[in-house]
Structure 1
Amino acid sequence: MAAWTRVTGKKRTRQFGVTMGSGILVCQRVGKSLKKKLKFPVTCGSKEGILHKDRYKRGEPCILSDGQWFTPNDFEKFGGKEKNKKWKISIMYSQVPLLTFIQEGFLSSPSFKIKRLQDQEPECGKKLIRTRSNTKHEKNSVVSTVMPEEDSLVIKRVFRGDTFEVSCFRGQGVLHVSRFATETCGKCIRTQDAWLTPKDFLNQNKAEGHWRLDITSRSYSLGKLIMSRVLEPHMVNCKCPICTEDPLHLLDQKNDDVCFKCKHDGDLVCCEKCPRSFHHHCHKPVLEDDMIGDHWTCCYCKAVTAKRNRSS
Structure 2
Amino acid sequence: MGVTPDDQMDPLDFLSRDDLLNYFHRKKTEISCIEEPHTFLSQLRDHDLVPEDLYQMVIKMRNKERKQKGVYDILDWVEKERGQCVERFWRCVFQDHIMLKYPVFRILRNSFLDGSYKFSQTVPDTEDADKNETESVQKEEKKIKGKKGRGKRKKSVEETEEEVEPGPSSCSTPTRKKTATKPIFHSPLKKGQKAEIWTWDLYKTTLPVICGNKKATLHRGKLAKGIECILYKGQWLTPNGFEKAAGKGSHKNWKLSIRCQKTQLQKLIEDGHLQCPRMKRQYNRKNRRLLFPDSPSESSSSGSMSLLSSIDMGELSEDQEEEGEEDGEDRTEEEDEDEEEDAEPVDMSEFKAEVLPVSCGSVTGELYTKRFTGGSRSKSIRTEERWFTPEEFVMQELTLTEKHWKKDILCHGKTLSYLVKKKILYIHSVLCKCNCCRPNDPLAQNNDDVCFICDSDGDDDRDLVCCDECPRAFHQDCHLPSTHSDTSGDKWMCTFCVWKVNHPMWTRMSQDEALNCPVNQNIMNCEYLLLCLYKEDVKRVFTYDPVTSVPGYSRVISNPMWLERVKAKLQGNMYNTVGEFVDDIRLIFQNWQTFNRDKDDGMFGARLSEIFEQKFLLSFKIQ
TM-score normalised by structure 1 residue count: 0.51
1:221 corresponds to: 415
1:54 corresponds to: none
Distance 1:156 1:217, change over 3 A: same
Distance 1:203 1:183, change over 3 A: farther
Post-superposition offset of 1:230: 0.5
Of Structure 1 and Structure 2, the greater strand share is in: 1
2:367 corresponds to: 175
Q: Is the contact between residue 370 and residue 436 of structure 2 (CA under 8 Å) also seen in structure 1?
A: no
Post-superposition offset of 1:185: 1.0
Post-superposition offset of 1:205: 1.4
Q: Is the contact between residue 360 and residue 408 of structure 2 (CA under 8 Å) also seen in structure 1?
A: yes
Tell me the distance in 1 between the aligned counterparts of 2:417 and 2:506.
46
SS in 1 for 2:356: strand
- Output one character per residue of 1:155-199: Cα deviation in whole Å (capped at 9) or x when no partner: 542211211100000101000000003443110001010010000
Which of these residues, 388, 393, 397, is aligned with residue 196 of structure 1?
388
SS in 2 for 1:157: helix
1:258-297 to 2 correspondence within 5 Å?
258-266=450-458, 267-297=463-493
Q: Is the contact between residue 375 and residue 428 of structure 2 (CA under 8 Å) also seen in structure 1?
A: no
Q: Is the contact between residue 147 and residue 227 of structure 1 (CA under 8 Å) also seen in structure 2?
A: no
1:137 corresponds to: 325
Tell me the distance in 2 between the aligned counterparts of 1:241 and 1:160.
22
Aligned residue type for 2:314: I
Q: Is the contact between residue 356 and residue 367 of structure 2 (CA under 8 Å) also seen in structure 1?
A: yes
Q: Is the contact between residue 369 and residue 380 of structure 2 (CA under 8 Å) also seen in structure 1?
A: yes
- Unpaired segments of 5 or more residues in structure 1? 1-122
Tell me the distance in 2 between the aligned counterparts of 1:149 and 1:205.
26
Tell me the distance in 2 between the aligned counterparts of 1:149 and 1:172.
24
Q: Is the contact between residue 380 and residue 388 of structure 2 (CA under 8 Å) also seen in structure 1?
A: yes
Distance 1:239 1:291, change over 3 A: closer
Distance 1:155 1:186, change over 3 A: farther
Q: Is the contact between residue 177 and residue 188 of structure 1 (CA under 8 Å) also seen in structure 2?
A: yes
Q: Is the contact between residue 374 and residue 436 of structure 2 (CA under 8 Å) also seen in structure 1?
A: no
Distance 1:138 1:197, change over 3 A: farther
Post-superposition offset of 1:236: 4.0
How large is the RMSD of aligned CA atoms in angstroms? 3.7
Of Structure 1 and Structure 2, the greater helix share is in: 2
Q: Is the contact between residue 189 and residue 198 of structure 1 (CA under 8 Å) also seen in structure 2?
A: yes
Which shows bigger deviation, 188-197 or 158-167?
A: 158-167
Post-superposition offset of 1:228: 0.5
- Output one character per residue of 1:219-263: Cα deviation in whole Å (capped at 9) or x when no partner: 11111101100011122443445555x5x3312211111111111
Tell me the distance in 2 between the aligned counterparts of 1:271 and 1:138.
43
Q: Is the contact between residue 132 and residue 236 of structure 1 (CA under 8 Å) also seen in structure 2?
A: no
Q: Is the contact between residue 129 and residue 234 of structure 1 (CA under 8 Å) also seen in structure 2?
A: no
With a CA cutoff of 8 Å and minimum separation of 6, indicate the structure with the bigger relative contact order. 1
- Output one character per residue of 1:119-171: Cα deviation in whole Å (capped at 9) or x when no partner: xxxx989x9633323312269x79989999999x9554221121110000010
Which shows bigger deviation, 255-264 or 287-296?
A: 287-296
SS in 1 for 2:395: helix
Runs of at least 4 residues of structure 1 off by over 6 A?
141-151
Structure with larger Rg: 2
Aligned residue type for 1:286: S
Which of these residues, 183, 203, 211, is aligned with residue 405 of structure 2?
211
Instruction: State how many pairs are aligned.
Output: 186
Q: Is the contact between residue 171 and residue 205 of structure 1 (CA under 8 Å) also seen in structure 2?
A: yes
SS in 2 for 1:226: helix
Aligned residue type for 1:213: K
SS in 2 for 1:193: coil
- Output one character per residue of 1:89-122: Cα deviation in whole Å (capped at 9) or x when no partner: xxxxxxxxxxxxxxxxxxxxxxxxxxxxxxxxxx
Q: Is 1:303 aligned to 2:499, yes or no?
A: yes
- Unpaired segments of 5 or more residues in structure 2? 1-304, 508-623
SS in 2 for 1:213: helix
Aligned residue type for 1:218: H
- The alignment-based identity, stated in percent, is 34
TM-score normalised by structure 2 residue count: 0.27
